[in-house]
Amino acid sequence: MRDLYTRLGVSHTASPEEIKMAIEKCANAGVKADAEAVLLNARAKPAYDRLNSFLGDVGTLRASLGLNHGAHWVASDTNDYTKEAASGRSEGMNAAKSSTPDRSKSKSKNEKVKPASGGVFSIVTRYWYPVLLIGAVAWALFQADWRQPEHEATAPQEPSFSEPVVPFPVTGTARYPDGAEGVAPLKIKTSPGSDYYVKLVEPPSDRPVMEVFVKGGTTVEVSAPLGSYEMRYATGKTWYGPEHFFGPETSYSKADQLFAFSRDYRGTSGYTVTLYTVQNGNLRTESLPRSQL
């Protein structure tokens, strides 16, 4: 584990703004990534600070025992927690980059604290291995906690759909929300398996001018108001009313052409629309967000 504060060159009490500035200046991509994920994470930083402080205390203990160059304290990451020995010799994180340490001096330190009944090896066996094990377990738990995506911890749970089923309206009964008059012929053909709620909408205002319910597998004939409209529709199997349509399984679609219903000296023009796939069909549809039905 790295001392990210030391690597960034900031104090352990640095403000988030100071940490951000230090991260921007850092040339080590790995340190930058870890610092952004830990020190700028409100959930991860307290756990990291506790473990970081613990390893700092371990480093101080090792320095006082003359163990800074033991077999289990030589990796570049653990050098971040190597403290200055009692003689005043600096053994900080840059020790690995400097000249080879004077082993004779380290040996002399170890001899000063060597107990009569076992020596340095006894100290390492009795004290350091348990500390190392505790630190490893704490780090593993810490990693498992702060590496969880934020959204998993905060994402709200989707409420279950529990609306009551509503009887399907009478097939082929057209409604005119704004009181428009149905004049032009409109025939709608459907296939079995799903039912349909069809709307004619005036662009660009999105004003609905007609709606009709069609039972799957039937053909209905209704009268549409004069004008040019988009045809939008919802499909499904169980009707929950005009607010929820066919529930969570509703499919929303829109025809990709305008339907122009007109009347002139030759008569009134209308359409026959087939809302299922047919060979050589000329009507294309596209998915539609629920909010645009």
Kindly report the CATH number assigned to the domain that includes residue 282: 2.60.40
Q: What is the pLDDT of residue 90?
A: 40
Backbone angles phi, psi at 75, to 5 degrees: -65, 155
Identify whether the C-beta of residue 251 lies closer than 8 Å to the C-beta of residue 289.
no
Range(s) of the domain holding residue 139:
41-154
192 plus 260 within the same structural domain: yes
Asked if residue 34 belongs to a domain, the reply is no
141 plus 230 within the same structural domain: no
271 plus 211 within the same structural domain: yes
Asked if residue 261 belongs to a domain, the reply is yes
278 plus 182 within the same structural domain: yes
Q: What is the CA radius of gyration of the chain?
A: 37
Q: What is the pLDDT of residue 277?
A: 79
144 plus 239 within the same structural domain: no
220 plus 146 within the same structural domain: no
Asked if residue 14 belongs to a domain, the reply is no
CA–CA separation, 206 and 85 (whole Å): 78
Query: The tokens of 185 are what?
Result: 């012929």
103 plus 183 within the same structural domain: no
* pTM: predicted TM-score of the whole model, two decimal places: 0.47
Angle between helices 44-65 and 29-38 (to 10 degrees): 120
184 plus 260 within the same structural domain: yes
Q: What is the pLDDT of residue 159?
A: 74
Asked if residue 227 belongs to a domain, the reply is yes
179 plus 150 within the same structural domain: no
79 plus 145 within the same structural domain: yes
Determine the 3-state secondary structure of 133 from DSSP: helix
203 closest CA partner among 88, 103, 292, 94? 292
Q: What are the respective helix, strand and coil percentages of the chain, to the nearest 5?
A: 35, 20, 45
Residue tagged 């032009």 (tokens): 184
Asked if residue 35 belongs to a domain, the reply is no
CA–CA separation, 126 and 119 (whole Å): 11
Asked if residue 169 belongs to a domain, the reply is no
136 plus 202 within the same structural domain: no
Angle between helices 129-146 and 44-65 (to 10 degrees): 160
CA–CA separation, 235 and 188 (whole Å): 14
Q: What is the pLDDT of residue 88?
A: 43
Q: Which residues of the chain have pLDDT under 50?
A: 75-76, 86-118, 120-122, 124
Q: Of 87, 121, 154, which closes a domain? A: 154
Q: Of 124, 154, 184, which closes a domain? A: 154
Q: Of 122, 154, 186, which closes a domain? A: 154
Asked if residue 17 belongs to a domain, the reply is no
Q: What is the pLDDT of residue 66?
A: 65
Please state the domain count of the chain: 2
Asked if residue 21 belongs to a domain, the reply is no
92 plus 197 within the same structural domain: no
